[in-house]
């Protein structure tokens, strides 16, 4: 439990402080733009979200790598755990920027009002990929925290493929209607085809 909790601390440092919060901020901004029927700007901000989330993840990983000893000493005083945590830092530094776009797309799917679909994907990937991989790497292959970390990133990578597919096949016009309904600003008399007006103005 201590090992898994320590690993989660690192994930929180990378994905919680800047990248995830940045992606979340874009989510709310894009959903507001969709509620205002501004599809063009929403799409531009969606692209910016992926780039900025990835860049912030790279910077966070650089900070982690440069201050790894200080952070590990703050997480635990146990020398064995410190050695284990220091061993997985290269994995985190390498893998985290690669899954940062998946983090951004996960929030973009929510901005597109695909909450149920996103939740189902994340749940299924956790149950059928992350948990089995962690079980095999820990109990069968006798890895310690490296196995847990590898399983987590394997789950993120698999989930990323699926949520990217969901995102690139999203119906933005339908997302406009859903966001308008959630904001209470939907007029049943307005045709959904009106949401294409911004595309036609370009």
pLDDT tens, position by position, 69-108: 887 777 778 788 778 778 888 877 887 887 888 888 989 9
Q: What is the DSSP letter of 189?
A: T
> Is the CB of residue 158 less than 8 Å from the CB of residue 125?
yes
Which whole-number Å values give the CA distances from 132 to 152, 154, 185, in the listed order? 10, 11, 44
pTM for the model stands at 0.73
pLDDT digits (tens, 9 = 90+) for 11-66: 555 555 778 888 888 999 999 898 888 899 999 999 999 899 888 888 888 887 88
Average pLDDT over the chain, rounded to whole? Answer: 79
Q: What stretches of 16-114 show up as alpha helix (H) in DSSP? A: 19-35, 39-66, 68-75, 79-111
């Amino acid at each position: 439990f201590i090992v898994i909790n320590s690993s989660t601390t690192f994930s929180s440092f990378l994905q919680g402080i800047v990248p995830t919060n940045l992606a979340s901020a874009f989510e709310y901004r894009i959903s507001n733009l969709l509620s205002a029927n501004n599809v063009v700007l929403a799409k531009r901000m969606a692209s910016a979200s992926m780039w900025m989330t990835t860049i912030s993840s790279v910077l966070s990983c650089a900070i982690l790598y440069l201050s790894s000893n200080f952070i590990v000493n703050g997480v635990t005083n146990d020398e064995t755990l410190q050695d284990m945590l220091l061993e997985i830092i290269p994995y985190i530094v390498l893998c985290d920027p690669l899954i940062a776009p998946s983090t951004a797309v996960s929030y973009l799917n929510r901005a597109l009002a695909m909450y149920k679909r996103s939740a189902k994907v994340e749940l299924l990937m956790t149950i059928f990929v992350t948990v089995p991989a962690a079980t095999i790497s820990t109990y069968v292959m006798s890895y310690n925290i490296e196995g847990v970390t590898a399983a987590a990133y394997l789950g993120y990578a698999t989930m990323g493929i699926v949520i990217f597919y969901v995102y690139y096949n999203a119906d933005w016009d339908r997302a406009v209607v859903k966001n308008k309904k959630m904001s209470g600003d939907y007029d049943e008399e307005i045709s959904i085809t009106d949401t294409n007006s911004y595309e036609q103005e370009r």
